[in-house]
A = this chain, B = another copy of it.
Amino acid sequence: MTLKMSMDDLAQFMAAEFPQVADDFVVEDLRPMYLTMRLKVSARHLRPGGTVSGPAIFALADVGVYLAILSMIGPQALAVTTNCSLDFMRKPAAGVDLIADIRLLKLGRVLAVGDALIRSYGADVPAARASLTYSIPPALRG
């Protein structure tokens, strides 16, 4: 399996398609079926006490798996999240970026599945775990 998009391609895609949130996310590493994503934590991601909010953690996993899929199938903005399961296991450290290690487990014609292990930068235990399914529309199935 080979990549159809590079880290630069993914950054440009995000800036063009999701300008509201593109600045929050950085692809830190990429190889076929694997991607590492950073959430640059800022005030709008925080909850009282300084912890990163649940919606921000969801967004990190969702965007990360989405970009991992696009890196393999090409720059299509139309894959749709159909399912997500999340376990919140430890409070993220206050004011520290989050890192998501993502792997694709299935890349089918109709459905793609990936999971994410999320930790505070510098921590060696996970803060959260997520798995996500995407439906790939017929137009993209070649």
Interface positions of A from 11 to 27, Cβ below 8 Å from B:
17-18, 20
Which listed residue, B55, B77, B105, B113, touches A59 by the CB 8 Å rule?
Answer: B55
A56 close to chain B: CB less than 8 A: yes
Which residues of A approach B to under 8 Å, CB–CB? 17-18, 20, 44, 47-48, 53-56, 58-59, 62, 77, 80-91, 105-106, 108, 110-111, 113, 115, 117, 125-126, 129, 131, 133, 135
> Could you name 26 residue pairs across A and B whose Cβ atoms are closer than 8 Å?
A18-B47, A18-B48, A20-B44, A48-B77, A53-B59, A54-B81, A55-B59, A58-B58, A80-B88, A82-B88, A82-B133, A83-B83, A83-B85, A83-B86, A83-B87, A83-B133, A84-B84, A84-B86, A84-B88, A85-B131, A86-B86, A87-B105, A87-B133, A105-B126, A111-B135, A133-B133
